[in-house]
Amino acid sequence: MSTPTRTQPDSPTQPHETSVESKALTSAVSAMIVPPSARNGVRRYQVSGPRVKRRVTNIIFSAVAAVIFLCSVFPVYWMINTSLQPNNEIRTPVPNFFPKDFTLGNYVTVLFEPSRSPFLPALMNSLAVTLLTVVIALVFAFLASLAVTRFRFKGRKAFILSILIIQMIPAEAMIVSTYRVLDSWSLLNTIAGLTLVYVATVLPFTIWTLRGFVNGVPVELEEAAMIDGLSRTGAFWKITFPLLAPGLVATGVFGFIQAWNEFVLALVVMSRPASQTLPVWLRTFQQANGTTDWAAIMAGSTLMAIPVVVFFLIVQGRMTSGLMSGAVKG
């Protein structure tokens, strides 16, 4: 009751105005890229010295950028490059920087030779756990974010604070007690057990982010609809919910990535071979094949990375700001 709901100036689809190519970019960046001499008529007639120097600096900067690009991309490239060669070709004194004997054999091995690697069951487990996690977490977090944004009640701030704090409890410290609690409920090695754990892991972040998105939709919109005769619930579903869709998608995808990549808890909770998720499978596969079959390991790594990379590229801009929570609010 103390603080009335603030209507944020931001547009609903972009509550945090910090996407990489934000509006402010053009002006602010041009100030830094374009040297004053190019814009400032007075300065243009300087001696040529600084100009040459500037061009040299620009070339150096571009070169550094190219190097950074290579450093960032090379491991990913090398993973794919290795995965497309037969195993004997990658065990040569001089590595092939391009796939010499191009083959998809490693992918066939990983996908269709279950005796060597139960990839498909692991994929199924991962998909089931991840999708369930995303759906449940989104629904629960959505309800909670409504409660903390559209209502004023006692304990509201306490709830938000505890969300922030819970987010910081390291899963690494909790593995054993999580294991024992799940064990006592006979939920070890089950989809339900791991899903339960993941939902709890993803929830704090999801609530926090959705809260930002809901805050971005002015209550006045709903109220206008209510004056026009809609019920409160109706106004919410017809007016606010559609505006939240992009936020829900982005948050859901981020939850997907988190659950898909999670390793520590899966390692402890899903230890049985039949119930492994992809990260646990990849590690077992790597340990079993160790130094003998790097090509197949790289094929497995590629298969595991593809969905994440694709999704990540989709939501990246929105999530940079979401992760930062309050810090970069425009």
Residues of this chain, 221-260, that bind another protein according to CB under 8 A: 223, 260
For residue 301 the two structure tokens come to: 């790594």
CA distance 206 to 322: 10
| Residue 52 sits in the site that holds another protein (CB under 8 A) | no
> From residue 158 to residue 187, what is the string marking binding to another protein with x (rule CB under 8 A)?
-xxx--xxx-xxxxxxxxxxxxxx------
Contact residues for 34 (Cβ-Cβ < 8 A; gap 6+): none
CB of 59 to another protein, least distance (A): 11
> From residue 99 to residue 138, what is the string marking binding to another protein with x (rule CB under 8 A)?
----------------------------------------
Q: Smallest Cα–Cα separation from 255: which of 162, 165, 134?
A: 134
| Residue 286 sits in the site that holds another protein (CB under 8 A) | yes
| Residue 22 sits in the site that holds another protein (CB under 8 A) | yes
CB of 122 to another protein, least distance (A): 13
Amino acid at position 261, single letter? N
| Residue 31 sits in the site that holds another protein (CB under 8 A) | yes
- Which H helix or E strand runs over 136? helix 119-150
CB of 241 to another protein, least distance (A): 14
| Residue 38 sits in the site that holds another protein (CB under 8 A) | no
Amino acid at position 68, single letter? I
Q: DSSP for 244-302?
A: HHHHHHHHHHHHHHHHHH--HHHHHHT-SGGG--HHHHHHHHHHHHTTT-HHHHHHHHH
CB of 168 to another protein, least distance (A): 4
Nearer residue to another protein within complex by CB, 96 or 103? 96
CA distance 235 to 20: 33
Quick one: which of 138, 217, 219, 259 contacts another protein (CB under 8 A)? 219
CB 276 within 8 Å of CB 118: yes
Interface with another protein in residues 295-324 (CB under 8 A): 297-298, 301, 304-305, 308-309, 312-313, 316, 320-321, 323-324
Nearer residue to another protein within complex by CB, 9 or 47? 9
CA distance 230 to 250: 29
